């Protein structure tokens, strides 16, 4: 039996969680405010244990960023280039196949594809990227294009987001990554990413995808100008959509990286904030099965700690991550399966290799 003595407000929240009642934004604000981080962790850990037992998931996957040319100007982005700027690139089919061929191994189960909003190439370019990968690597799942990119495609192709998604699915799209969500409030988006999909459009892209049968991912890029309340509003909007569609597989909190210069950052997010955000995500998102700890942005050591703060997934091998590394991620750009297994085992958990849809490939 726990010997922790909780203050009255924390006890009320603990009772709600244990009775399966949904937490409010006010509850979330208290969880961000309390110095009693370990009680927050313990509650999140309880919820995770109930949902996922001792399992911690990982996947062998490959990141691909087919183009870094982008018409948008997000304040936190160090990845994008303007057309013609030094370092700008757009992979054609030959370059794409060479990139993948040079990095391929037969354990890879998923391509994770995101890129810039490049209007110098037509919508067909983005469809062809998927077709090419499906043709040459039919065994790998294609997880491609954020909700923000879906809205961008609908503008350059002059068709609806539903038509965009239908075309992408026909080309071989299996799921969408969770990026482009940043913080789902208009105040934030007008300051940080004014040129891309609004809160409603990002959510609509996912709602349409869910309606077409896709299971998708959701992220939150925290640690800059947003308030704690905005983070909680973000989570609340996601869980409202999840109530309607049950289309999200996982939530991924992403810590902002320190060289996001136009985001007004002076330093990295703190360990307390990273762990608290994982735990609060687990507690607020009561209708999500999985919470991922993103080792690229919080480091391998904190990722391991996150496994007792409510997280049950440490993502994948990635091979070569570029977007967070463009703004100061300190981690390596990829990691081996052995390292992932080591991190999980030494946290006292059971490593489970999964496919994109959380089907179990192997327990270690």
Q: Which residues bind ligand SF4 (CB under 6 A)?
A: 70, 72-74, 77, 79-80, 116-117, 193, 196
Q: Which is nearer to ligand SF4, 74 or 249 (CB)?
A: 74
The nearest distance, CB 322 to ligand SF4, in angstroms, is 10
Closest approach of Cβ 144 to ligand SF4, in Å? 14
Min dist. Cβ of residue 111 to ligand SF4 (A): 18
3 state SS of 298: helix
- Nearest residue (CB) to ligand SF4, 70 versus 161: 70
CB of 65 to ligand SF4, least distance (A): 9
The least CB distance from residue 169 to ligand SF4, in Å, is: 22
Q: β-strand 350-354 against 55-59: which pairing, if any?
A: parallel
Query: Given the complex with ligand SF4, which of 256 and 306 has the nearer CB atom?
Result: 256
Q: Which is nearer to ligand SF4, 168 or 280 (CB)?
A: 168
Q: List the beta bridge partners of residue 250.
A: 217, 290
**Could you please report the per-residue DSSP string of 187-230?**
HHHHHH-TTS--HHHHHHHHHHHHHTT--EEEEEEESSS--HHH
Paired tokens of 180: 């482009």
Quick one: which of 73, 87, 22 has its CA closest to 240?
22
Tell me if 131 sits within 8 A of 171, measured CB to CB: yes
Q: Toward ligand SF4, which CB reaches closer, 51 or 322?
A: 322
Q: Strand 141-144 relative to strand 110-113: parallel, antiparallel, unpaired?
A: parallel
Rounded to 10 deg, the angle between the 199-211 and 161-171 helix axes is 50
């Amino acid at each position: 039996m726990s010997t922790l003595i909780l203050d009255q407000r924390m006890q009320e929240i603990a009772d709600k969680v244990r009775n399966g009642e949904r937490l409010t934004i006010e509850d979330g604000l208290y969880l961000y405010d309390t110095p009693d981080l370990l009680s927050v962790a313990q509650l999140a850990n309880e919820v995770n244990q109930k949902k996922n037992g001792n399992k911690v998931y990982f996947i062998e996957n490959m990141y691909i960023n087919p183009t870094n040319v982008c018409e948008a100007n997000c304040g936190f982005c160090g990845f994008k280039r303007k057309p013609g700027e030094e370092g700008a690139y757009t992979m054609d089919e030959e370059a794409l196949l060479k990139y993948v061929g040079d990095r391929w191994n037969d354990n890879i189960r998923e391509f994770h594809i995101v890129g810039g909003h490049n209007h110098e190439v037509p919508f067909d370019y983005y469809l062809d990227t998927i077709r090419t990968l499906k043709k040459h690597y039919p065994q790998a799942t294609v997880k491609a294009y954020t909700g923000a990119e879906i809205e961008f495609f609908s503008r350059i192709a002059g068709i609806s987001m539903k038509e965009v998604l239908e075309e992408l699915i026909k080309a071989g799209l299996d799921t969408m990554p969770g990026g482009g969500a940043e913080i789902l409030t208009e105040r934030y988006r007008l300051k940080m990413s004014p040129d891309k999909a609004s809160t409603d459009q990002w959510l609509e892209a996912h709602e349409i995808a869910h309606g077409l049968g896709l299971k998708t991912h959701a992220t939150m890029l925290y640690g800059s100008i947003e308030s704690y309340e905005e983070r909680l509003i973000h989570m609340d909007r996601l869980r409202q959509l999840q109530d309607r569609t049950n289309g999200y597989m996982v939530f991924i909190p992403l810590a902002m990286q320190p060289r996001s210069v136009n985001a007004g950052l002076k330093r990295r997010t703190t360990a307390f904030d990273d762990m608290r955000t994982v735990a609060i995500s687990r507690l607020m998102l009561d209708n999500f099965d999985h919470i991922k700890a993103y080792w690229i942005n919080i480091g391998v050591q904190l990722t391991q700690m996150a496994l007792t703060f409510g997280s049950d997934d440490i993502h994948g091998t990635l091979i070569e991550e570029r977007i967070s590394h463009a703004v100061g991620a300190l981690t390596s750009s990829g990691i081996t399966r052995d390292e992932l297994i080591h991190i999980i085992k030494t946290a006292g958990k059971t490593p489970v290799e999964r496919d994109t849809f959380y089907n179990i490939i192997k327990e270690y």
